[in-house]
Every structure is written in structure tokens, then in C-alpha cells.
Amino acid sequence: MPQTSNADIIYSSQGATVSWEGISSFVTGNLPGDVQLGFQAHQAGSFLTSSFTRSVTGGKRGGGYLQFKTLLTSQRVVWGQIPGNVISVGRFGSAHSSMNSGGFNPLYLAFEFKDSSQAGSPMRYGWAGLSLVNGNLFSGGDFPALTISAWAYDTTGAQIPMGTTAATPEPGTMALLALGALTLGARGVRSWRRNRASVS
């Protein structure tokens, strides 16, 4: 029987959009331990004046350890390959009366956290899929709007590639599967030849 890899990736598909007039706050809720990844919409200044500002921030929720890379990426890279600073709270988009920080298509936010439910609070690594729709507030839209499409983390401490949703079998497992398929195929061919010869 082939053996499966020890890696265990916990994946959640969400599709929540955080904005001031919509869902103003969202928290992942399923990271183990006493910390979560959360997102919050904010508003400041007098409505539709030059000081009027809306923004969406994200970061650590709870008392534990969680940080993320400031650079969002579209590539299937791991935590250690992503440049940029490491912070616990950051702004993902802002909009003013007549200007905005711009939007982005789906990108990955790399994060790390300590699993306080385990002895020694080992480090765990994950990603969150984010996209931002933005515009000037005078245009009347609910900007900025940050969508959290999904997130995942690895329970073993491995640095998973951004966007990975399931554990990848180890090379040894793939070799065992291939060998098993060849063995079954050869056995079937021998049986077929034997049956054909007896009929003849």
C-alpha cells in the first residue's frame, strides 16, 4: 500500500468581502491556538468632504503571534522566498474623496503564526487569497472592498507554496504508486496471455 505524506494542509474557501457598507469585519476563525487573521473596514473624517477617508486593514487578532509579509505575490513561492518586511498589522487599501490607492487582482498574502495549542507553540505557515476593488469616494461606490477568497495553512511547520490547497505526495509515494500500477498492468497482461493460450 502506498504511504501518504505527513504534510496536512487545512484549506478554507470563503469569499467574504470586507468594506464599510458591507461586512465591516472578518476573522478567519479556524487557526489553531489563540490567534487569528482578521480584516477590518475603517472610516474617518466628515462624509464626502476633502478629509473623508475609508480603508481596510488586516492582521493579528487575539493574543498570540501572527505576522505577514508586506509584499503580496501571485507566484507559488514559499514564505522564505518572498521579500519585504514582516508586520502584524497593515493597510490593504484606502480611498479618499477624489483619489484612491488602487486595486489589485487576486494575490496571495503569506503569513506565519505560532500554534499555541501545541507544546512549545511551533511556527506554522499559510496564505490568504486577496483581491481589492477600489475607487474615489465621490464616485459613490463602496470603496475600498477587500475580498478574502480563501486561506490555508500547513499543520507540520512546512512553508507551503502560495495557493496550495492540498498536501503533495512525497516523491517516494509517487514512485510506489507508479510501481504498483506497472505491477498490476504486467500481471493483467500475463493473465490475458495465459487465458488466450488455453482457448487456442
Do 158 and 175 lie in one domain? The reply is no
Residue 51 has pLDDT above 90, yes or no: no
For range 127-152, the mean pLDDT? 96
Mean predicted confidence (pLDDT) in 75-101: 96
Q: Are residues 181 and 196 in the same domain?
A: yes
pLDDT of amino acid 197: 59
The pLDDT of residue 187: 64
Does the structure show a pLDDT above 60 at 183?
A: no
Higher pLDDT, 120 or 7: 120
157 & 73 share domain: yes
Domain assignment present for residue 2? The answer is no
Task: Answer whether residue 153 is part of any domain.
Answer: yes
Q: Which three cell numbers stand for residue 23?
A: 461586512
What per-residue confidence (pLDDT) applies to 103? 97
Buried b (16+ CB within 10 A) or exposed e, 30-49: ebbbbbbbbbbbeeeeeeee
Structural domain contains residue 57: yes
Q: Does residue 62 fall inside a structural domain?
A: yes
- State whether 156 and 138 are in the same domain: yes
Same-domain check for residues 77 and 61: yes
Q: What pLDDT, on a 0 to 100 scale, did the predictor assign at position 168?
A: 55
Q: Are residues 92 and 149 in the same domain?
A: yes
The percentage of the chain sitting over the pLDDT mark of 70, rounded to a whole number, equals 79
**Is the sign of the CA dihedral 101, 85, 159, 78 positive or negative?**
positive
Q: What is the DSSP letter of 2?
A: P
Q: What is the CA 178 to chain-centroid distance, rounded?
A: 31
- Residues 184 and 154 placed together within one structural domain of the fold: no
The percent of residues above 90 in pLDDT, for the chain, comes to: 72
Rounded to whole angstroms, what are the CA distances from 174 to 8, 33, 160, 166, 183? 17, 33, 19, 15, 14
Nearest by Cα to 41 from 27, 53, 54, 28 = 54
Average pLDDT over residues 62-72: 96
C-alpha cell at 41: 473596514
Chain position carrying cell 494542509: 9
pLDDT at residue 172, rounded to an integer: 45
pLDDT of residue 157: 96
pLDDT the model gives residue 111: 98
**In this structure, is residue 3 part of a structural domain?**
no
Would you say residue 23 lies in a domain?
Answer: yes
**Structural domain boundaries enclosing 15:** 9-164
Give burial (CB, 10 Å; 0-12/13-18/19+) of 72.
buried
Quick one: 117 and 21 in the same domain?
yes
Q: pLDDT at position 1, please?
A: 28
Q: What is the pLDDT of residue 195?
A: 61
Structural domain contains residue 185: yes
**Residue 169 CB neighbours (<10 A):** 16
73 and 88 housed in the same domain:
yes
Q: State how far the Cα of 164 lies from the Cα of 153, in Å rounded to an integer.
A: 9
How far are the Cα atoms of 17, 92, 114, 134 from residue 104, in angstroms, in the given order? 14, 10, 29, 9
Half-sphere exposure of 180 (CA within 13 A, CB side): 9
| Mean pLDDT of the residues in the chain | 86
Whether 4 is in a domain gets the answer no
Instruction: Indicate yes or no: pTM above 0.75.
Output: yes
The number of domains in the chain is 2
The answer to whether residues 120 and 183 belong to one domain is no
DSSP type of residue 100: B
**In the predicted structure, residue 18 carries a pLDDT above the cut 70:** yes
92 and 176 together in one domain:
no
